[in-house]
Amino acid sequence: MSRVLISINAAWNVVNFRAGLVRALVADGHEVIAAVPDDGALAAVEALGARVAVLPMTSASTSVTGDLSLLWRYVRLIRRERPDVYLGWTIKPNTYGALAARMAGVPRIANVSGLGTAFIRETWLTRVAEMLYRLGLGGAATVFFQNHDDRAEFVARRLVARDCVEVLPGSGIDIAHYDPAPWPRADDDAFRFLMVARLIRDKGVTEFVEAARIVRARHPQARFALLGFLDVDNATAISRAELEGWVAEGVVEYLGAAEDVRPFLGNADCVVLPSYREGLSRVLLEAGAMARPAIATDVPGCRDVIVPGETGLLCAVRDAQSLAERMIGMIALPPDTRAAMGRAARAHIAERFAENHVISAYRAALARAIQ
């Protein structure tokens, strides 16, 4: 079969979001090489059947010298490994990695899993990102997007050819793995809201905290928890001091980061994601699979998952008052109605976002790229 070089900006991302795809490619007989930074998850990547090629990478760096060095590392890696196809996720693998593959004549498949800060705020960085995407994605065999808005924006900006783009249902979800049955909620009177995200402003963390203050004034028994990585390499990262201030105030709890989110989702009454924009929210997929209703912003990548009034609720973006109103509305729902909303969410995720749909799309793209 073929040698497939995959690259992403974090090894844990492969383990948590791409494991099913890697196992499927290995089972199909492909040799899979994972070019990822060493973030402590290399052994777990190897356990999936991939061979690891350690590739240092800093996600948020805008250093010209550092980025040229990364491009050179990709060039050397591709010369050494001679892959039959290159498959990338996240901005630097989709630009520098894809550009190195293009220079070597290696067919490329890219997954633009979200537009990120560079497109949420139009700055000089947006122009740089556009240039890099044109170089990396030009002539690609397939470019996957996770929602139609992102696809349309890239086509409109002429960053990618219209005839090579497809929309995937996110990274896919293993419904059997996210079985809600073994994860009962705590037996008390507290209504629990849970936000699972990297602690950056673009995820709507500050709106979540402000909404929690508003809701607690009317429902003091309600609890609000944050689960996710702190000290994130991102220009909009929440500082440790700011988080500690919120915890000391008593407005939110911080649960740290976790490799397995299921116990936390299982103990939540409602999952909240007030993000400014997503590719296709993995957290909302996981929440729905766990039969938990969700509240999310009416933005690309969130509204694609939620069926308003049936599987969850949508609120205005960057609007803590709107979010608080939806939270209060969720608390007011009869328990049986919330439970029915959760069941509808699980059925919706199983029908539209199951992992096997995603794996089938990648298999077809690989077959086209290496024919």
- Interval 325-345: pLDDT, tens: 999 999 999 999 999 999 999
Check pLDDT > 80 for residue 166: yes
pLDDT of residue 59: 62
Overall size of the chain counted in residues: 371
pLDDT of residue 126: 77
How does pLDDT run across 41-71, given as a tens digit for each residue? 999 999 999 999 999 987 655 566 668 899 9
Question: Measuring CA to CA, which residue among 306, 303, 296 is closest to residue 349?
Answer: 306
Full-model pTM: 0.87
Domains by residue range for the chain, with CATH = 3-172+354-369 (3.40.50.2000), 192-352 (3.40.50.2000)
Residue-by-residue DSSP string for 33-86: EEEE--SS-HHHHHHTTPEEEE----TT---HHHHHHHHHHHHHHHHHH--SEE
Check pLDDT > 60 for residue 223: yes
Check pLDDT > 70 for residue 178: yes
State the distance between the two ends of the chain, measured CA to CA, in whole angstroms.
11
| Residue 106: strand, helix, or coil | coil
* Strands across the sheet containing 3-7: 51-54, 31-36, 3-7, 85-89, 108-112, 142-145, 165-167
**Rounded Cα gap, residues 371 and 356, in angstroms:** 23
Considering just the CA atoms, what is the radius of gyration of the chain in Å?
21
Q: Where are the alpha helices (DSSP H) in the chain?
A: 11-17, 19-27, 42-47, 64-81, 91-92, 98-103, 117-120, 124-137, 148-156, 205-218, 240-249, 262-266, 282-289, 320-332, 335-352, 355-369
**Average pLDDT value for residue range 189-201:** 94
Task: Assess contact for 18 and 8: CB atoms under 8 A.
Answer: yes
Q: Where are the alpha helices (DSSP H) in 82-145?
A: 91-92, 98-103, 117-120, 124-137
Q: Where are the alpha helices (DSSP H) in 166-257?
A: 205-218, 240-249
**Rounded Cα gap, residues 253 and 240, in angstroms:** 13
Task: Assess contact for 207 and 321: CB atoms under 8 A.
Answer: no
**Rounded Cα gap, residues 268 and 282, in angstroms:** 17
Question: Measuring CA to CA, which residue among 162, 104, 169, 171 is closest to residue 136?
Answer: 104
Range in 116-125, 229-238, 337-346 the model is least confident about: 116-125
